[in-house]
Chains A and B, each alone.
Chain A
Amino acid sequence: QVTLKESGPALVKPTQTLTLTCTFSGFSLSTSGMRASWIRQPPGKALEWLARIDWDDDKFYSASVNTRLTISKDTSKNQVVLTMTNMDPMDTATYYCARDVTKGLDYWGQGTLVTVSS
């Protein structure tokens, strides 16, 4: 059974750095072809793909937030970590992690709401 769960602060101040952790089970990011992605969704708005990390440690980022994002993985802990620097109120959103396979984002976490406010 594949599960994913996001964790991290619910509230961050402007200019701070956000660190989110996705802890998963039921698959391994050391398996060839396996990937994990982060996606966010501002309240009432559309989904926005942010970043992806692959089994071979290749990393891909959204151009719109590229310079602020870092994605990493710890295969021994079954975790993927997303770091976003210089947070702004416009970054207020629900952040999701998802398993990313050839056929798409087939399993998602429940999401975690991050509010950016002073």
Chain B
Amino acid sequence: DIQMTQSPSSLSASVGDRVTITCRASQSISSYLNWYQQKPGKAPQLLIYAASSLQSGVPSRFSGGGSGTDFTLTISSLQPEDFATYYCQQSYSTPRTFGQGTKLEIK
């Protein structure tokens, strides 16, 4: 199985900050990397697919990058509604493994 490792596990930031979350795959997954946002008590929502493509309806302050084994999710200017947990997931092979999550908290 491909292991996905996110860093950091948690992050404190302020409204307006620029933040970056990283995700590393245990082997090359080309650009088969997706990012999800999950708010407490809610189902995850797809933010970015194929490493850098923005899902319809997702604000442009979200962006993704990387290929191979190293990927990033960047939020250019944090808004109050962005405080949530973020997960990466590889769709290169089954099982479709997730990272352990990054909890973004208000400073």
Contact = CB atoms under 8 A, between A and B. Distances in A.
Contact of B98 (A46, A52, A61): A46
Nearest to B38: A47
A105 B48 CA distance: 10
A47 B88 CA distance: 10
Interface stretch (A7-15, A70-78, A106-114): A106-114
Contact of A104 (B1, B34, B43, B101): B34
B89 A105 contact: yes
Interface residues of B, number: 23
A37 B89 CA distance: 13
Interface residues of A, number: 23
A57 B1 CA distance: 22
Interface in B27-45: 34, 36, 38, 43-45
A49 B3 CA distance: 12
A109 B44 CA distance: 9
Nearest to B98: A47
B94 A60 contact: yes
B100 A46 contact: yes
A103 B49 contact: yes
B43 A103 contact: no
B95 A47 contact: no
A106 B91 CA distance: 12
Given A105-B34, A106-B55, A108-B43, A46 B99 contact: yes
Interface of A: 37, 39, 46-49, 52, 60-63, 96, 98, 100, 102-106, 108-111
21 contacts: A46-B98, A46-B99, A47-B87, A47-B101, A48-B98, A49-B89, A49-B97, A52-B94, A52-B96, A62-B95, A96-B43, A103-B53, A103-B55, A104-B46, A104-B49, A104-B89, A104-B91, A105-B36, A106-B55, A108-B45, A111-B43
